[in-house]
Chain A
């Protein structure tokens, strides 16, 4: 059933397509241009680390909570990262209350992969007692306003929050607090595929024009650490290579913002 709230966005789909054919985007950006990105950290004092990231009108908040827990049996010498995304109904007229749907599961898993595979957090430093007790790192993604590209906003917010995280050892009587060891800066770049066009950092009107996207996450050395092609479409090799180039380049730009965090 189509939601009534979307009729305006439905109508704008043709506007988006018409503009793309003329080589333009509706907000005048270049195809590989991000909206303005703002990163604010330390906004939730009760969290171990937190960040509010806005990309244009899109706003995502990530909070990090930590507590001691049991390690996985196969990795007794490593801490654990648990990433969770709530697309709370406040963020969009089309989000409904209830358990996470496939979109929020995909969102949290893609963000998680970038952080995990880049080994951004040194999990070996998060062991309290080998095989018995390690630190659990909860990355909770809370979307506040979905005006497109929650993916990149979430992954930027996640890494920004991790960068500002203090391990709350004193609260649990296990020694002194220390900064969470973060040693890489994975950055995701999401490209919306609309017909034959690929545009980075889609706004909501653009997302409505097509369900198809690809997210590519790279680390500080331009290695690819996570990828996700989403949507039922076929992508040519040539396009993929082009998008990969762009993603690496844009990730470098966005990583500069993280260095200021």
Chain B
């Protein structure tokens, strides 16, 4: 695999605006890096993969959030971002006639939702009309730095798959750094610990292998007991 060099803000990446991808900006026809990240260059595009930073919502993202306010027409949801999300009552399939929003979701309830729309003022609208989405009424939420999310997912979802097959847990990774895990309590404990390891020491090669080994060992300890 081609190595991905580190780029800093303002580094010139291309002279053809057509190739500009995420993490870049165009000025006078030139494409520059917008923030610190890894340069990912293909024949048709350049993009910068962020190494740090807050979660900034983008349409289609799966996020996990906490209800902070109940309004007459929906819910204000904290999505671990500079921007709160709004889930309109009409975007929650659990809303039926004669039910008020606070009968369905109350303050501090946790939901898995999708980003439906973002207006130019960064008003973020969420939806729960998707098979992934639900109110979280059991399981556990784990929180990590959003920039580490790709590591938890792994290459082509390999890390998530490993958790699922090794431990038989359900897991949904929110793009905003919140992760929902459900299953046997002790196995969820293993996932939680593994995720924190991934978050804190992800900088060495063979991460997936090492985490797999960790999970297998912990699972062995469980079965041995």
Binding site for B on A (CB under 8 A): 2, 4, 7-12, 14-15, 18
Interface residue? B164 (CB, 8 A): no
Interface residue? B142 (CB, 8 A): yes
* Partner among B81, B82, B141 whose Cβ is within 8 Å of the Cβ of A11: B141
Whether A11 contacts B143 by the Cβ 8 Å rule is: yes
Secondary structure type dominating chain A contacts = helix
Binding site for A on B (CB under 8 A): 66, 68, 78, 80-82, 140-145, 177-178, 189, 192
Contacts of B140 in A (CB 8 A): 14
Whether A7 contacts B80 by the Cβ 8 Å rule is: yes
Whether A15 touches B192, Cβ cut-off 8 Å, given contacts A8-B144, A8-B177, is: yes
Which of A2, A7, A9, A14 has the most C-beta atoms of chain B within 10 angstroms of its own C-beta?
A7
Q: How far is the CB of B199 from chain A (nearest CB, A)?
A: 10
Contacts of B68 in A (CB 8 A): 2
Alpha-carbon gap, A30 to B163, bound state (A) = 29
Q: How far is the CB of A14 from chain B (nearest CB, A)?
A: 7
Contacts of A18 in B (CB 8 A): 189
Given contacts A7-B143, A15-B142, 9 further A-B contacts (CB under 8 A): A4-B78, A4-B82, A7-B66, A7-B178, A8-B145, A8-B177, A11-B143, A11-B178, A12-B143
Contacts of A10 in B (CB 8 A): 143
Q: How far is the CB of B179 from chain A (nearest CB, A)?
A: 10
Contacts of A12 in B (CB 8 A): 143
Nearest 8 A/B pairs, CB to CB: A8-B143, A11-B143, A7-B80, A11-B141, A7-B78, A12-B143, A4-B78, A15-B192
Q: How far is the CB of A250 from chain B (nearest CB, A)?
A: 26
Q: How far is the CB of B198 from chain A (nearest CB, A)?
A: 15
Give the nearest-CB partner of A22 in chain B: B189
Q: List 26 A-B contacts (CB under 8 A).
A: A2-B68, A4-B78, A4-B80, A4-B81, A4-B82, A7-B66, A7-B78, A7-B80, A7-B143, A7-B178, A8-B80, A8-B143, A8-B144, A8-B145, A8-B177, A9-B143, A10-B143, A11-B141, A11-B142, A11-B143, A11-B178, A12-B143, A14-B140, A15-B142, A15-B192, A18-B189
